[in-house]
Copies of this chain bind each other. A is one copy, B any other.
Amino acid sequence: MDKIAFTPIEELGEFGLIDFLTKDLKNFSGKTIKSVGDDCAVIDLQGKKLLISTDMMVHGVHFDLDYFPLQHLGYKAITSSISDIYAMNAMASQLTVSIAVSNHFSVEMLELLYSGMKTACENYQVDFVGGDTTTLGKGLIICVTALGYANQEDIVYRKGSAKNEILCVSGDLGAAYTGLLILEREKQVYLVDKEMQPQLDDYEYILKRILRPEARKDIIDFFAKMKIKPTSMIDISDGLSSEIFHLCKQSGVGVKLFEDKIPLDPMTYNTARELNLDPTLCALNGGEDYELLFTLEADDFEKVKNSPDITPIGHITDEDYGIKMISKSGNEHPIKAQGWKVFNKSE
């Protein structure tokens, strides 16, 4: 934890704390009529359809404050939430943030957390319009509700893909997971020997992916510019295999995935190897990449096939085929959905 001044939260009280943390909020969306400061925020969607998604992040489950800088945590709380809006091919426009926090946190620590949130709101032009703050015996819990808007005909659901369409993914996969493993390794080293400084210099990209991920608004903007509408889409928060299962289940289709097409950053690949892990499994089962997984009809695929940031990784089959991966050696393997089962973690 950074060394910063410590003003106890109770010095400000709940209303004082809210005033302090929200005092310099700006609105970006042009759709917010009334922001923080009343019973509700008031929003004018100007005839568009409303999208809403909620995510809860818990210290010890979704993040570890031993190595998670509070500014990054605030940033990630926002980007991971608005990622769900982009995954519907919509624009994120407002959000509310509720936190429950132990009295062991200071006003300055919350200021850092909120400064990360405000930076994300500015980067994505999203308005912070409300929330709640309350106390908690231990730790920190962040609940973000993100709102977005779209024309009805532009909204893309998980359901909608059909046989022969191309399964594509943005960016690269498995980086956040390997970054997390490095952070956990260095924490264990530190716990054994407090004199040891963490060795993190060689892992900048994968650490950024776990600590300060971006949401793929740029991909949604690209779709709009190129007049592309995916037939189905989901964001990758629980790992590629889990998200493929969601798409297939809702669309009633199967998938043939090609292992050698799965995009991996060289640092992800090398770190997985260093940790004696299969890089492909890191992509399939590691979560929190916040990339977009989507299916395209052939005409739309023609428009993206030269984009360096979109990779075709397989194609849609009949449901009877199942969900299978063609390995690098050419063998066909059924994929299992592992994902990230928070309820299986021990306390």
A interface residues, Cβ below 8 angstroms from B: 9-10, 12-15, 17, 33-34, 37-45, 47, 49-58, 60-62, 84-85, 87-88, 90, 94, 96-100, 102-103, 129-139, 141, 143, 145-148, 152, 155, 157-159, 233-235, 250, 339, 341-345, 347
Are A53 and B33 closer than 8 Å at their CB atoms?
Answer: no
Would A143 and B50 be within 8 Å (CB), given that A40-B85, A134-B62 are in contact?
no
Contact A14 B341 (CB under 8 A): yes
Q: Establish whether residues B33 and A102, one from each chain, have CB atoms under 8 Å apart when the complex forms.
A: no
* CB <8 Å contact, B138 and A137: yes
* CB of A36, distance to nearest CB on chain B (Å): 11
Copies of chain A in the complex: 2
Question: Are A42 and B53 in contact (CB-based, < 8 A)?
Answer: no
List B contacts of A130 (CB < 8 A).
52-54
State which of B94, B141, B148, B157 has its C-beta within 8 Å of the C-beta of A34.
B157
Q: Given A88-B40, A88-B42, are A33 and B58 neighbors across the interface (CB < 8 Å)?
A: no
Q: A129 to nearest B CB, angstroms?
A: 7
Contact indicator B157/A87 (Cβ below 8 Å): no
Chain B positions within 8 Å of A37 at CB level? 158, 250
Which residue of B is nearest A83, CB measured?
B39
In the complex, what distance in Å separates the CA atom of A15 from the CA atom of B159? 17
